[in-house]
Structure 1
């Protein structure tokens, strides 16, 4: 069967939709073509660069009729950098698209067309929101470069600024490129496993303005360590913590296992609502604290706590959601498989003087049944899993233990919808879904779903 288009064809198309990763979708006689940079509603001339039996790819040549939501991307490396995917779409357009993205998943994957998916809760200012930046450096033609990776690669796009991260991160990025050569620290090369500096990570607390800088090196000892500390303090006089992390492995994972403090405090402190958190170099902490509060308030609203409930937080991390819930619950029990996260959660509960929390390390699908055997049953169960969604064993545990209410916090609409279908088939009814925009200018969208056990 011949395809309606062939490779190297130059054709005019009408763009109908966006994929989950932000590429435009056009159809020629029902045959889909994916076009990076194209927006729904646009008429565009494209060059067909690849075809398969089921779909093809086109390169945008000219926009004949632009979308009403098309804007000029304010970032000068938008076309190269893989950090943002939809800067060319107005923020109003982004929020509408993200709502539809969640709605499509709920309708098509979860098969729940009757469930309300509310408009996305967005930001007043969708820029400079990231409180954490991970900056790689490299040598290119003998020159130190730093910035962010190109899409689906580890090739660095050299830049001095990123308008979704803090100004302090920009200062550090720009000035450290100058300082590395001066003090003689060689950037790490992934291919040859040579060089010393792998990454510089900066974390800024929104509420307290405390700043931590993490130097990730291949070895613990290096002769320029004191010069590096002084260079960072000169660039950021307000820095409150400088930490070194050692990663000697042949890997593209950023952090290694060993961390120690070079200057100032071991951690920085931030607040979400009125709950305080200590954040160490490797702590998981949401990168957009302003929207994190919006997200957690939504989870709290759906939990409908009266002060008499036992709540289980099945992916508790450092206790961020757990402590939010503990303010209004009888007790909250959190479980997480990462030992450091559980240590952080216990410390954060202590800092906030919570007496009604308990945290345990382990697999949720193992620990929660043990709690039930010990006579602890959940009125409300909260899950906030990684992008792959809930472990199948945990979903079975939920269906066996039957808490009357489940609050599902998701960072992936597709796996959220998949898991909602399983819970629906097991006796739960999805009441509604509220998307929250945690990552403006990108294709990512978080959502909170509220489920009730059917009577």
Structure 2
């Protein structure tokens, strides 16, 4: 409720909760106020930047009464850079808030409640991002180049010299990269640098809109040698990226040591940005799925085979489906590389358009793992009809609690499954992103 005299002071509100974007939620004058930079339990003033009849979007002004979860942000660009939104909140409180959001979504959107809340799992809060897409912009008025993430709610690139969520050696490259790009003839035609770190090599992919001249090439080669990185050049879409210098380098890979798996990947292909937490995520998903020799298990949205190969390593037959032909080919190659081709199959399928007939045509699966993008897997779960022979256990890995909850409603209320367990994996510390895992089993009878 707003307090104070509006004639001589800004209105203040008490923040009640966090929303899925990491904003504080409060009420004033019959409206919901979403306040960036405010935490539950705090009393704050706020500065609206968008007003609608039923809600306002605002930035926190004065923190009149700080909450007990508030901490000093570690990054000096917090508030300017749009990359992180929760650095001002203790990381344990971040995890608890994300768990509450997951439970609230399941209850209010899906009308379901898990029988068991899985313990939230999280790891290092800093230096965890091994994938990042840095924007590049030449500022003519200052004769300088900016390299970093976009400013909050802006298309401008933040003026930054470091980043706390990428590994230290990559953070230290931001200033040298600014100087390098500024020295190139195509400094106005290089809009992006994609960072892709592997076990044995660090790759930087330069998105170039014009050709390099000989001096540009010499500068890039010198930089790569000095900083022990490999440059790729990308003149078109992601598939056009190719190694520039050094042309030969250690293969770009990540590993799943618990399953004795090495996963080669191309620097523009999708992999989880947090490799240490990916290992934990795979361990939890496989523990819940519990693959057994002789079982046939489907992996929908399988990508490179991040879950399919561990399923096969446990002795089951893993059948991976993916919408990208290039990723299907990569998954097949990874399976061969890890000696698992005899226990895996991969097929291209548009999983957003499959139906009951398609599902039945794939044959019987004992179990299923679903790991969709933010849009969820509504077509897939709808295709699992209650009166048909469908998997008795499903593990659903989600990056969006809203679409997970929607799909959970179909599985439980229409298709005869129970929601046995659910919990979060804090894949992206200091952001509002929520990664979660849910376990469904067929109801008896």
TM-score, structure 2 length as denominator? 0.90
Q: CA shift at 1:403, angstroms? A: 1.2
| Contact in 2 for aligned 1:318/1:341 (Cα 8 Å) | yes
Distance 1:353-1:92 versus aligned 2 partners, 3 A rule = same
In structure 2, what is the equivalent of residue 409 of structure 1? Answer: 397
In structure 2, what is the equivalent of residue 201 of structure 1? Answer: 194
Deviation sequence 1:74-99 (CA, Å, 0-9, x none): 11111111110100001111111111
| Contact in 2 for aligned 1:413/1:447 (Cα 8 Å) | yes
Distance 1:226-1:14 versus aligned 2 partners, 3 A rule = same
C-alpha RMSD over aligned residues: 2.4
Out of 199, 216, 233, which is 1:244 matched to? 233
Distance 1:231-1:54 versus aligned 2 partners, 3 A rule = same
Out of 337, 352, 357, which is 2:323 matched to? 337
Q: Distance in 2 between matches of 1:265 and 1:353?
A: 24
Out of 413, 421, 429, which is 1:440 matched to? 429
**1:17-416 mapped onto 2 (5 Å cutoff):** 17-28=17-28, 31-48=31-48, 50-113=50-113, 115-123=115-123, 125-140=124-139, 141=141, 142-187=143-188, 195=189, 197-205=190-198, 208-219=199-210, 222-237=213-228, 239=229, 241-247=230-236, 255-262=237-244, 263-265=247-249, 267-273=251-257, 274-354=260-340, 355-364=342-351, 366=354, 372-373=360-361, 376-390=363-377, 392-399=378-385, 401-416=389-404
Distance 1:349-1:81 versus aligned 2 partners, 3 A rule = same
In structure 2, what is the equivalent of residue 423 of structure 1? Answer: 411
TM-score, structure 1 length as denominator? 0.88
Q: Distance in 1 between matches of 2:293 and 2:355?
A: 24
Q: CA shift at 1:158, angstroms? A: 1.5
Q: Distance in 2 between matches of 1:300 and 1:349?
A: 17
Instruction: Give the 3-state SS of the residue equivalent to 2:172 in structure 1.
Output: helix
Q: Distance in 1 between matches of 2:304 and 2:114?
A: 35
Deviation sequence 1:37-89 (CA, Å, 0-9, x none): 11101112334555432122344221121111101111111111111010000
Q: Distance in 2 between matches of 1:145 and 1:427?
A: 54
Instruction: Give the 3-state SS of the residue equivalent to 2:383 in structure 1.
Output: helix
Distance 1:421-1:79 versus aligned 2 partners, 3 A rule = same
Q: Distance in 2 between matches of 1:132 and 1:25?
A: 31
Task: List runs of 5+ in structure 2 lacking aligned partners.
Answer: none
Task: List runs of 5+ in structure 1 lacking aligned partners.
Answer: 188-194, 248-254
| Contact in 2 for aligned 1:429/1:452 (Cα 8 Å) | yes
Instruction: Give the 3-state SS of the residue equivalent to 1:429 in structure 2.
Output: strand
| Contact in 2 for aligned 1:215/1:245 (Cα 8 Å) | yes
Q: CA shift at 1:389, angstroms? A: 0.6
